[in-house]
Structure 1
Amino acid sequence: MAFLFSRSSRQKSPQELVRALRDSLKKLDHGLDKKTLDEITRYIGQIKVFLHGDGNTDPSPDSIAMVAQEAYSSDLLYYIIASQAVIDFELRKSSMSLFNGLLQRQIGTRFPTVQYLSTKEPILVLLVKSYENAEVVQNCGQTLRECVKHEQLAKIILFSDLIWLFFGYVQLPAFETASDAFSTLRDLLTRHKSLALEFFTENTEKFFQQYNNLLQSSNYVTKRQSIKLLAEILLDRTNFVIMTAYIDSPDHLKLIMNMLRDKSKNIQYESFHVFKVFVANPNKSKPVLDILLKNKEKLLVFLPEFHSDRTNDDQFNDEKQFLIRQIADLKPAQ
């Protein structure tokens, strides 16, 4: 009767399930078929039991370790991301949940999957380039931001050509895609302050050039988000060096002064918070001082009426009065 208990009826081990899932995902390169998709769904469900338990019993640490180690050695995480463009929404959500579960795996202070991903740049490349496919942005963008929470992964993106792709992605016509890309860009530029400063310092000229393009974008959302983020970056004490470099430029001042007259009151308001950094700087460069002096009388007429309806915003009004006094007291350099 032994023949009744075939090998196929035996429950697969964690390692076997991971390899089977990887093999099924690889089959998608040759086209979709229901059998393969059903296999993928089944394998993901079974692997999740090893990772999270079945509701009645907790997962075994040994089983979790076996799933993770096999996922690393079989390149499963790469194939999960690579398959996102061809599977349906529910399967995307399920497979990315598996990816994220492994990403959050922690042993003491170590994150083994983060360490693994730091040696597998192609996976990060796929995640970043997911912005080129609107169908996968929702899941991949969220996962990318989970990766960026870890400094060693953020560093890989910041100090490679991947970072410059975001300056195109945030201007894509699809609102959800552009907004998601901007959320990730913001995290990259603000979450790890010392790392971001290192990036700004090494890429000052190129960064300003790319960022000024965003400030002149025809996309309203991109333009508003960009000027708001610029103010946040410049006003962060960590970024004193980059702030000084930015406000030393007369071209940057001209751009921000033009944005004070933008047709959008929201963009005008956010631009004010950058403009005040130029005016409040006690060590203005001569070209910047010359522009402010040239426009002194116009500014003293313009600023008192600037957003005069914000009567309940005490901080804004105090800052505006301070700028008016600073501009009124401007004198040519001796």
Structure 2
Amino acid sequence: MLKPLFGKADKTPADVVKNLRDALLVIDRSANQNERKVEKAIEETAKMLALAKTFIYGSDANEPNNEQVTQLAQEVYNANILPMLIKHLHKFEFECKKDVASVFNNLLRRQIGTRSPTVEYLAARPEILVTLLLGYEQPDIALTCGSMLREAVRHEHLARIVLYSEYFQRFFIFVQSDVFDIATDAFSTFKDLMTKHKNMCAEYLDNNYERFFTAYAALTNSENYVTRRQSLKLLGELLLDRHNFSTMNKYITSPENLKTVMELLRDKRRNIQYEAFHVFKIFVANPNKPRAITDILSRNREKLVEFLTAFHNDRTNDEQFNDEKAYLIKQIQELRV
């Protein structure tokens, strides 16, 4: 038999969740509450979250008890604790914010047979996912919200809700944040949304091609080096993924897209050039190039051959790159005017 986790005055999962809810309700009504009372409620929230974590992860002396974890999870759902924690996340201290994400992410991973109860809970309350997405607008909680949102979108049903939300387009703003950590975190979440669930993403890109790539062009043309490099790299991955064949065909038949990529090949920063190369090669390697694409390549044939011949010649150990470069040069040389 397991020893009590906290001695004689041990709290049950139901006790912890009740105290947590009571404290959150005080915070919820903070406009009408004594300031000290609200401070105490915030302290109580932190304390109860720490206890909840001990139920989930165990302690130095005790392994977690599955029965207690199940009870805790059910009480959290019944009392609607998750939306309240996220709503007031900005009011908590750093460690408490970390505990919110830790509890949230662990509950998301829980499975009962083939069921994922927290996924079902969130799917029925899409506003929670929207709140997490919009958390990127608040620097003090952006990274915590990003951690929880990434955990959520590992599940296709929840990723679909975010992807088809009217707020999804905000990612094109968040990934260009002036705060490096926020921009990087937002891009990581954005990339997960666009790559983890292949069929869903292919369907989304097919149905939203114009809107998506009009917004995406702002990323590949961004003045921010990291944004430009990351977005070019992801663009190459998306176009080369066989699930996105239809999207790739649309993208590489656009003369404007080709002109943009050719400009990026000449960027003064070598890593930008390199990522642009991996998009440019898709245009050239296309066996069914439309006339407009062939015309652009033919008009610039001599300059392109000269440029590519001298392009990143120091990558002597990158056999695949050198094979691809040689292939592109040959394809361009053989183009008919």
Same fold (TM over 0.5): yes
Matched with 1:159 is 164
Q: How many pairs were matched up?
A: 324
Q: CA RMSD in A?
A: 1.8
Q: CA deviation at 1:137?
A: 2.2
Q: CA deviation at 1:57?
A: 4.0
Deviation readout 1:71-116 (Å, 9 max, x if unpaired): 1122100011112111110111122222222122111222110111
Structure 2 unaligned segments of length 5 or more: list them: 1-7
Name the CA distance, whole Å, in 2 between partners of 1:330 and 1:22: 70
Matched with 1:81 is 86
Structure 1 unaligned segments of length 5 or more: list them: 1-8
Matched with 2:208 is 203
Matched-pair contact (CA < 8 Å) for 1:93–1:139: yes
1:95 aligns with 2:100: yes
Matched with 1:22 is 21
Please list, as runs of the form range in 1=range in 2, the aligned pairs for 1:184-333 lying within 5 A after superposition.
Answer: 184-332=189-337
Name the CA distance, whole Å, in 1 between partners of 2:12 and 2:317: 65
Structure 1 length as normaliser, TM-score?
A: 0.92
Matched-pair contact (CA < 8 Å) for 1:214–1:222: yes
1:117 aligns with 2:122: yes
Q: CA deviation at 1:24?
A: 1.2
Counterpart residue type for residue 194 of structure 2 = L
Matched-pair contact (CA < 8 Å) for 1:166–1:181: yes
Matched-pair contact (CA < 8 Å) for 1:80–1:99: no
Structure-2 change in CA distance of 1:300 and 1:47 (3 Å):
closer
Matched-pair contact (CA < 8 Å) for 2:236–2:275: yes
Matched-pair contact (CA < 8 Å) for 2:49–2:96: no
Residue aligned with 1:40, SS: helix
Counterpart residue type for residue 320 of structure 1 = K
Counterpart residue type for residue 149 of structure 2 = L
Q: CA deviation at 1:51?
A: 3.2
Counterpart residue type for residue 19 of structure 2 = A
Deviation readout 1:186-216 (Å, 9 max, x if unpaired): 0000111111101111101111111111111
Residue aligned with 2:177, SS: coil
Q: Percent identity over the alignment?
A: 48
Matched with 1:6 is none
Name the CA distance, whole Å, in 2 between partners of 1:54 and 1:178: 35
Name the CA distance, whole Å, in 2 between partners of 1:80 and 1:288: 53
Counterpart residue type for residue 23 of structure 2 = S
- 1:150 corresponds, among 144, 151, 155, to 155
The worse-fitting range, judged by mean Cα deviation, of 183-192 and 300-309 is 300-309
- 2:46 corresponds, among 41, 45, 51, to 41
Deviation readout 1:153-196 (Å, 9 max, x if unpaired): 11111111232111110001100000000000100001111111
